[in-house]
Chain A
Amino acid sequence: MLTYIVRRCAVAAVMIFMVATAVFMILHVVPGDPIEVMLSADGMAPDPATVAEMRARLGLDLPLYQQYWDYLTRLGSGDLGRSFQDNQDVLGNIAQRLPRTLELIGMATLLSLAAGIPLGVVAARRRGSWIDKASGWISSLALSVPTFVLGTLFVLVFALMLRLVPAGGFVPFSQSPADHLTLLLMPSLAIAVGFTAVIIRMTRSTVLDVLEQDWVRTARAKGVDEGKVLRRHVVRNALGPVLTVTGLQMGSMLGGTVLVEFIFNWPGMSGFLVKAVENRDYPEVQGIVLVTASLFILLNLIVDVLYSVLDPQVRKS
């Protein structure tokens, strides 16, 4: 078991190294000079001597292999570098932004599961009824409306017409928990609508599958109460695939909340990455990609290890 975990950790370390190398190389191959971009805001033309001096200060005049070595050396000591733009610590900035995106994803997931699972179960249980048809229509509609349209509509209706919530923005939880949660609600809902539709459909189809199984028929034949059959035998067994889909959706949301963060002015990781790429802020882009990729790899590692704990065959293979 220990050998297995060590081997998986070694593979994970190699993958992180490959990601670090790939992102470094890609950034340096992509056209666009970080100093020119930085000093050319609003169409101003920087003095070439200033560009050269700035390049030297940031070490961008060094040969590529030297820059790569410096980068790896820093990484080895856990230093992601400092932003080209404002000289702030990249790791510190990521530590500030990442929880906000995780919070957004977490809240959207909670809302989706809370609405999607009961609706999916009811739709399956009453297959062919108006509830089933309505949930089918609603989930089709929810899946077909792009998140940015929904987001804009939410701003229009809830912020501008009803004036129930601010149009967007962010207030730290420590400053005002109520304001923080109010501002979190709309972007979470915008993400949750499409996600809920997926959960409804997945739950409905897996519940229908399980309802056909022999053990359900046996339970009913034994005279077990229908509610108990549903709770203990059907829903519990149907949740496996739903949770798998939830995990995959959450993973894809890590980098997929760009539009929602933009529309609602939510200062999370996605917007941070887009701005960093736009500015060619190499340390920031490298840091964000590396941290995000490491999170993915870490999650996979945990799942692999859990599988091996649950299934000895995986361990042996």
Chain B
Amino acid sequence: MGYSITRRNALLLGGGAMGASLLMPGLSFPTARAATPGTVTYALSAYPPNLRPFEYSGAASRTAKLMMFRGLLSFSESGTIQSELAESWELPDPRTYIFKLRANATFQNGAPVTADDVKASFDFIRAEKSTAYLRQAFQSVDTIEVIDPKTVRIVLKQPTPAFLNLLAGQNAPIVHAQQMDNPDAMIGAGPFTLESSEKGVSLVFKARKDFYKPGLPKTETIRLVVYADDSLRVAALNAGDVDIIEYVPWQSMASLAQTPGIEVQSSLGLYMYVVFNMKQGPFTDPRVRRAVAHAVKREDIVQAAFLGNGKVLDGVPLPETSPFRVEELDHLWPYDPDRAKALLKEAGAENLQATLLSTSTYGFHKDIAEIMQQHLAAVGMNIKLSLPEWGVRISQGNEGRYHLAINGGAPELGDPDDLTALFGSGSNSYRRSFGLSDPALDDLLNRGRHESDQEKRVQIYTDLQKAVAETVPVTFLNYRLQAYAMRETVKDFKALPDFLLNQSGMAFETVHIG
């Protein structure tokens, strides 16, 4: 008579085996693999679509491009503007900027960085048929004049205080003027050169010996390896396969922060907000938009969609240290369902029906839509969700095929002029409310952009916030935390603060394994 296995025995055996395999090794975790001296391995969340210096192609590209390209200016660790290829600069009048270039700055091919290169780069950006991300913004440039090989003068059509911020961002790099025909092969003056790449897998950068900052970069090799899956990215860090990861998933932030030997650096720069269809439907009435702004309990969104890794934003997004912040305007739309109901009644919009557009591609966009649906139902709105994938969502947003929609945003300049992209009228874009055209807001934004007197500028943007409180061209929901995590062997990686977090690739010139 042979031994026979009953169902019960088999389940017990199987369960026991699985439990043992999970728990026993846990009793004595082997240590993570050792870091490779001289090489920093960084886990990217996506492979860069391209490395064209003037086109915008996402956060992963930013990190890779910052290895190879540098502009006249950059942002420091504290978020202030600092010199980069330009050794110094002066403003003889509010429209004119004179930049003096570093004597030792060279491109990756060894050629010196000259004023001609600056002129060629900026002319490329502002050209009529340019596809540069800053083409529109650079239309404010009147003339670019080469004074001598190391000095360049830029004259703007009108005073624009945020112009320096534009140059400090990474979308205005200087490239070698002799090789500008192929955007995929432009030569920059960054601290590394691209040694090899394998599409979808990795990019390897080697340090330059003739970088213009003495002693930098500190590491010989940077490997950017793609780990698209959030959990695998975290697992790779824990296992020691990589040294730094970006886009730490919210569910792992707390556990990683408590893991010995791992450091997390995070910032609250990015935010979520709601746009409205202002051409047709119930949200053409500002009272109804205001009702939405008061009906949403933002704390629920922070807790449920971001697991507490965020902060309520019921005013206008301005950095903590911004001189344009006014304390009494920090909370323009506090949670107040009774007020929301009263506003709806006043507008004759009780029991309104509307479509809320979000996307199924990003879980947090979908979660916010579902939470908002409940909040809006509580004040009598019947909201239908539309959750297409990202590409369709962009098209529907650009064409105004929604009543209200969820968006994510990131200021780029660290200047309130960033708000023009949200409150200003212009061509239809999924990023701002469809059909938005408010002459009063446009006037304030335009005056704010070109006012060189700081006190007057503060007043203009204060007036803007007050106007926005009433007209609600968009309503903001929350800041969301974004983080890098790294092993303790990683030295001198300092993520940039607030809205600049995505430009933290600048830190690779100092980072090294210690």
* Residues of A in contact with B (beta carbons under 8 Å apart): 31-33, 36-50, 53-54, 57, 85-88, 93, 96-97, 129-130, 133-134, 137, 141, 152, 155-157, 159-163, 166-170, 172, 262-265, 267, 271-272, 275, 278-280
Compute how far the CA of A40 lies from the CA of B391 in the bound complex, rounded to whole angstroms: 9
Q: Is the CB of B132 within 8 A of A36?
A: no
* Residues of B in contact with A (beta carbons under 8 Å apart): 2-5, 10, 14, 21-22, 25-26, 29-33, 49-50, 55-59, 61, 129-133, 135-136, 184, 198-201, 225-229, 231-232, 235-236, 238-239, 241, 361, 388-392, 394-396, 398, 407-410, 421, 427, 429-432, 502
Shortest CB-to-CB span from A266 to chain B, Å, is: 10
Which residue on A lies nearest to B14, using beta carbons?
A141
Instruction: Add 6 more A-B contacts to A36-B395, A38-B57, A45-B432 (CB < 8 A).
Output: A33-B394, A38-B49, A40-B394, A57-B131, A86-B184, A161-B25
Q: Is the CB of A33 within 8 A of B395?
A: yes
Q: Is the CB of B395 within 8 A of A41?
A: no
Q: Is the CB of B391 within 8 A of A265?
A: no
23 contacts between A and B (CB under 8 A): A31-B388, A31-B396, A32-B395, A41-B49, A45-B421, A50-B130, A86-B184, A129-B2, A152-B231, A156-B22, A159-B235, A160-B239, A163-B33, A166-B236, A166-B239, A166-B241, A167-B232, A168-B227, A263-B232, A265-B229, A267-B199, A271-B200, A275-B200
The residue among A42, A49, A130, A156 with the most chain B CB atoms within 10 A of its own CB is: A42
Shortest CB-to-CB span from B6 to chain A, Å, is: 9
Q: Is the CB of A53 within 8 A of B427?
A: no
Q: Is the CB of B409 within 8 A of A43?
A: yes
B30 contacts across to A, CB distance below 8 A? 162-163
Shortest CB-to-CB span from A174 to chain B, Å, is: 12
Shortest CB-to-CB span from A276 to chain B, Å, is: 10
Q: Is the CB of A130 within 8 A of B5?
A: yes
Q: Is the CB of A85 within 8 A of B50?
A: yes
Which residue on A lies nearest to B52, using beta carbons?
A86
**Other-chain residue from A85, A133, A163 in contact with B239 (beta carbon distance below 8 A):** A163
Q: Is the CB of A42 within 8 A of B59?
A: yes
B132 contacts across to A, CB distance below 8 A? 50
Q: Is the CB of B236 within 8 A of A168?
A: yes
SS class, residues of chain A in contact with chain B: helix
Q: Is the CB of A47 within 8 A of B136?
A: yes
Shortest CB-to-CB span from B477 to chain A, Å, is: 14
A159 contacts across to B, CB distance below 8 A? 235, 239
Q: Is the CB of B430 within 8 A of A40?
A: yes
Shortest CB-to-CB span from A11 to chain B, Å, is: 35
Q: Is the CB of B232 within 8 A of A32?
A: no
Shortest CB-to-CB span from B475 to chain A, Å, is: 16
Q: Is the CB of B135 within 8 A of A50?
A: yes
Q: Is the CB of A265 within 8 A of B431?
A: no
Compute how far the CA of A296 lies from the CA of B55 in the bound complex, rounded to whole angstroms: 39
Q: A40-B430, A130-B2 are in contact. Are A46 and B200 (CB under 8 A)?
A: no
Q: Is the CB of A163 within 8 A of B49?
A: no
**Other-chain residue from B26, B55, B388 in contact with A161 (beta carbon distance below 8 A):** B26
A168 contacts across to B, CB distance below 8 A? 227, 229, 232, 235-236
Q: Is the CB of A37 within 8 A of B394?
A: yes
A31 contacts across to B, CB distance below 8 A? 388, 391-392, 395-396
Shortest CB-to-CB span from A55 to chain B, Å, is: 10
Q: Is the CB of B407 within 8 A of A169?
A: no
Q: Is the CB of B231 within 8 A of A53?
A: no
A141 contacts across to B, CB distance below 8 A? 14
Q: A45-B429, A53-B129 are in contact. Are A267 and B201 (CB under 8 A)?
A: yes
Q: Is the CB of B239 within 8 A of A36?
A: no
Which residue on B lies nearest to A164, using beta carbons?
B30
Shortest CB-to-CB span from B65 to chain A, Å, is: 13
B407 contacts across to A, CB distance below 8 A? 43
The residue among A97, A137, A272 with the most chain B CB atoms within 10 A of its own CB is: A137
Shortest CB-to-CB span from A87 to chain B, Å, is: 6
Q: Is the CB of A263 within 8 A of B229?
A: yes
Shortest CB-to-CB span from A259 to chain B, Å, is: 10
Which residue on A lies nearest to B57, using beta carbons?
A41
The residue among A45, A267, A275 with the most chain B CB atoms within 10 A of its own CB is: A45
Compute how far the CA of A157 lies from the CA of B429 in the bound complex, rounded to whole angstroms: 46
Closest 9 CB pairs of A and B: A32-B391, A41-B58, A45-B431, A161-B25, A167-B235, A45-B429, A85-B49, A163-B30, A86-B50
Q: Is the CB of A265 within 8 A of B228?
A: yes
Which residue on B lies nearest to A275, using beta carbons?
B200
A156 contacts across to B, CB distance below 8 A? 22, 235
B236 contacts across to A, CB distance below 8 A? 166-169
Compute how far the CA of A263 lies from the CA of B58 in the bound complex, rounded to whole angstroms: 22
A45 contacts across to B, CB distance below 8 A? 421, 429-432
Q: Is the CB of B130 within 8 A of A53?
A: yes
B135 contacts across to A, CB distance below 8 A? 47, 49-50
**Other-chain residue from A37, A44, A97, A166 in contact with B391 (beta carbon distance below 8 A):** A37
Q: Is the CB of A167 within 8 A of B239?
A: yes
Q: Is the CB of B241 within 8 A of A157?
A: no
Q: Is the CB of A280 within 8 A of B391?
A: yes
Compute how far the CA of A218 lies from the CA of B154 in the bound complex, rounded to whole angstroms: 99
Compute how far the CA of A192 lies from the CA of B10 in the bound complex, rounded to whole angstroms: 22
Compute how far the CA of A134 lies from the CA of B130 in the bound complex, rounded to whole angstroms: 68
Q: Is the CB of B199 within 8 A of A96?
A: yes
Q: Is the CB of A37 within 8 A of B390?
A: yes
Shortest CB-to-CB span from B460 to chain A, Å, is: 23
Compute how far the CA of A267 lies from the CA of B29 in the bound complex, rounded to whole angstroms: 29
Which residue on B lies nearest to A155, using beta carbons?
B235
A41 contacts across to B, CB distance below 8 A? 49, 56-59, 61
Q: Is the CB of A130 within 8 A of B395?
A: no
Q: Is the CB of A265 within 8 A of B14?
A: no
Which residue on B lies nearest to A159, using beta carbons?
B239
Shortest CB-to-CB span from A143 to chain B, Å, is: 14
A53 contacts across to B, CB distance below 8 A? 129-131
Compute how far the CA of A234 lies from the CA of B398 in the bound complex, rounded to whole angstroms: 66
Q: Is the CB of B5 within 8 A of A133?
A: yes
